[in-house]
Amino acid sequence: MSMKDLLAEAMKLKPDERFTLVEGLIKSLDEPDKKLDEIWAEEAETRLKAYRDGTLKGIPMEEIFKEA
């Protein structure tokens, strides 16, 4: 079924059914991605280790917000 066909079928639903469908689709986009969480955790650990080892310099918070 194409997206156009799917949309046409969805439009045949009652308003409350369409709302439930839309809500379900939006919630499905907001679910955490475990693989992505693992990648970010590894990156954070790598950066923290580099900072503690002195191979990565920190930037003062005031400097960061001054640029924004």
pLDDT band at 52 (very low <50, low <70, confident <90, very high): very high
Q: Output the CA torsion sign for 54, 60, 66, 68.
A: positive
Query: Domain check: are 15 and 37 in the same one?
Result: no
Do 4 and 27 lie in a common domain? Answer: yes
**67 pLDDT band (50/70/90 cuts)?**
low
pTM, to two decimals: 0.50
pLDDT at 33 (0 to 100): 85
Q: What is the pLDDT of residues 10-51, one digit of tens each?
A: 999 999 999 999 999 999 888 888 999 999 999 999 999 999
What count of other Cβ atoms lies within 10 Å of the Cβ of residue 18?
Answer: 13
Amino acid at 12: K
CA-CA distance, 11 to 14, in Å (whole number)? 8
Where in the sequence is the domain holding 56, given as residue range(s)?
33-68
Spacing of C-alpha 17 from chain mean position? 27
The token pair at 13 is: 């639903």
13 shares its domain with 43: no
